[in-house]
C-alpha cells in the first residue's frame, strides 16, 4: 500500500496530522499498518476495525475538503523497540467557526514494521470539562 517509510513513530505521527489537515486520504492511509488489526475511534464515534472501515471513515470525513487545523499539546510518548504509544491533546480549529472547540484527547499506537513505523490505533475522545469544584466541607462538631 505504501512506499513511504517512517523512520520513527514521531515521523508517522507528524504524517498522520499533516494528512488530517490536508484531507488527504492516500497520505492518511500510508500512515496506517497494512493489516486488518487496525482500530480507529473518532470522538463520540463507533469503533472502526480493519482497513475497509478505517479508510471509509476517513474518506467520509475528508469529503468536504481541507477544513481542519490541529495543534498538538501535552504530548506524552512511551516508546519501546517495537511499539510506541503517544497520548496527546488535539486542539482542533474548523474553518469558518468562530468558537474554539474543546480539546480532544487522543491515544495513537504505532508498531515498528519492515516498512518503518505504522499506526495501529487512533482513539480520540472529547476532553472532559474542568473538574468540578469540591463541595465545601461541613463544619466538624465535636461532642
Q: What is the pLDDT of residues 31-49, one digit of tens each?
A: 999 988 999 999 988 999 9
User: What's the length of the chain?
Assistant: 143
Q: What is the mean pLDDT of residues 112-122?
A: 96
Q: Percentages helix, strand, coil for the chain, rounded to the nearest 5?
A: 25, 35, 40
Q: What is the pTM of this model?
A: 0.84
- Backbone phi, psi, residue 54, to 5°: -65, -45
Task: Give the CATH number of domain 9-126.
Answer: 3.10.450.50
- Pairing, β 39-41 against β 47-49: antiparallel
Residue 141 or 91, more confident: 91
- Count of C-beta atoms within a 10 Å radius of residue 142: 3
Amino acid at each position: 500500500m505504501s512506499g513511504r517509510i517512517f523512520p520513527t513513530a514521531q515521523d508517522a505521527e507528524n504524517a498522520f496530522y499533516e494528512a488530517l489537515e490536508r484531507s488527504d486520504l492516500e497520505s492518511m492511509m500510508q500512515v496506517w499498518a497494512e493489516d486488518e488489526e487496525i482500530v480507529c475511534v473518532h470522538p463520540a464515534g463507533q469503533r472502526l476495525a480493519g482497513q475497509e472501515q478505517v479508510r471509509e471513515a476517513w474518506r467520509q470525513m475528508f469529503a468536504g475538503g481541507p477544513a481542519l487545523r490541529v495543534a498538538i499539546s501535552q504530548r506524552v510518548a512511551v516508546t519501546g523497540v517495537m511499539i510506541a504509544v503517544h497520548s496527546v491533546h488535539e486542539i482542533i480549529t474548523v474553518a469558518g467557526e468562530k468558537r474554539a472547540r474543546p480539546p480532544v484527547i487522543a491515544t495513537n499506537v504505532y508498531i515498528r514494521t519492515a516498512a518503518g513505523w505504522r499506526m495501529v490505533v487512533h482513539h480520540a475522545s472529547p476532553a472532559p470539562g474542568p473538574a468540578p469544584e469540591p463541595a465545601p466541607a461541613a463544619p466538624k462538631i465535636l461532642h
